[in-house]
Structure 1
Amino acid sequence: MLVKTFNSHFYDGKRWTYHESPVMNIDIEAALAYDDALEKLEKKHLYSQDEFEILCHSFIEVEI
Structure 2
Amino acid sequence: MEESDAKRLAVSTGRSWTVLRRQRATNPAIRNPGWLDVPQSGSLAMLCLLGTWNADNEADRQVVARLAD
TM over 0.5, shorter chain: no
The normalised TM-score by structure 1 is 0.25
* Greater RCO, CA 8 A, separation 6+: 2
The normalised TM-score by structure 2 is 0.23
- Report the structure, 1 or 2, having the larger helix content: 2
